[in-house]
Amino acid sequence: MKIKQYRTHFIKELSPFYDAYEAESFFYLILEDKNKLRQIDLALNHELAFETADFVYWDAILEELKKEVPIQYLLGKTSFYSLDFEVNENVLIPRPETEELVEWIINENSKTDKSKKLKILDIGTGSGCIAISLAKNLPNAEVYAIDVSKKAIETAKRNAIRNNVEVTFVFQDILELEQLRCTFDIIVSNPPYVRNLEKEEIKKNVLDYEPHLALFVEDSDALIFYRKIAELAQKSLLENGQLYFEINQYLGKETADLLEKLQFENIEIRKDIYDNDRMISCKVSKTL
């Protein structure tokens, strides 16, 4: 069968689950990953055809997509901040909104004195996407990362090697810490922040397949991680140290109020590409 014919079949089979644009994007992602062919190759040569063995792989992945398994998990990788990351069921799939948080940190810190080491801690690192992207783009950064999942840490370590950067990874439950081991110029976190009451807004491919440990918090204490991390940051951020969070779009004011009560300064909320409150930064107000 010609590849163009199979593409039509592929998109039609996925039509009950995805719109045509998304289904087509899946097709070309798989085509490039499995068959090393790009969309332009197919456009230039209409006679390209699959081998018989190709159909076994393609039909199997098509069935998984019908179950709404995320395409990133099926391919075992994704792109984040122009870098290549392994992803699996132990880590969240990095989002474009998180890229915006990384961009904010890089823009605010790329002009620092290159002779001065910039110590950065990423809490709840998951795939390592934030820590690794910062290490890659801030040459004077010394980056550390914490996660409560051993399997996430293993994935993040592989991603650091994959992207040729050095990051120190630590297996630790942040909620059990009374104090961080050393001081930092920057602490950043994209902690669990989706309340159980918001589960109905979550797509099936996220709810059924991405790790709930990294997603959800109890409705009764939705800011538990923000409070704990901010308290640790009070003790461990250097003078003029910066704290950055990705936040729940519905809890921007509550997060800002929490940081203000803890006496952080220069609190700023930023919206993401979808015009939702998504990021917040502040500075420690005292000298250690």
pTM above 0.75, yes or no: yes
Whether residue 13 contacts residue 66, with contact meaning beta carbons closer than 8 Å, is answered with: yes
Position 288 scores a pLDDT of 42
- List, for residues 113-124, the tens digit of each pLDDT value: 677 889 999 999
Note the pLDDT tens digit of each residue in 32-66.
999 999 999 888 888 898 988 888 999 999 999 99
DSSP code string of 258-271: HHHHTT-EEEEEEE
- How does pLDDT run across 62-106, given as a tens digit for each residue? 999 999 999 999 999 999 999 999 999 999 999 999 999 999 999
Give the separation between CA 182 and CA 197, rounded to whole angstroms.
37
Predicted confidence (pLDDT) per residue in 152-186, tens digit: 999 999 999 999 999 999 999 999 999 998 999 99
Q: What's phi and psi for 146, nearest 5 deg?
A: -120, 145
> Any idea which residue has 């390209």 for tokens?
48
Radius of gyration of the chain (CA): 21
pLDDT of residue 286: 61
Judged against a pLDDT cut of 50, whether residue 137 lies above it is answered with yes
CB 249, CB 277: distance < 8 Å: yes
What gap in Å lies between CA 82 and CA 44, rounded to an integer? 27
Tens of pLDDT, residues 231-281: 999 999 998 899 999 999 999 999 999 999 999 999 999 999 999 999 999
Q: Which two tokens stand for residue 4?
A: 């163009």
The percent of residues in the chain predicted with pLDDT above 70, rounded, is 98
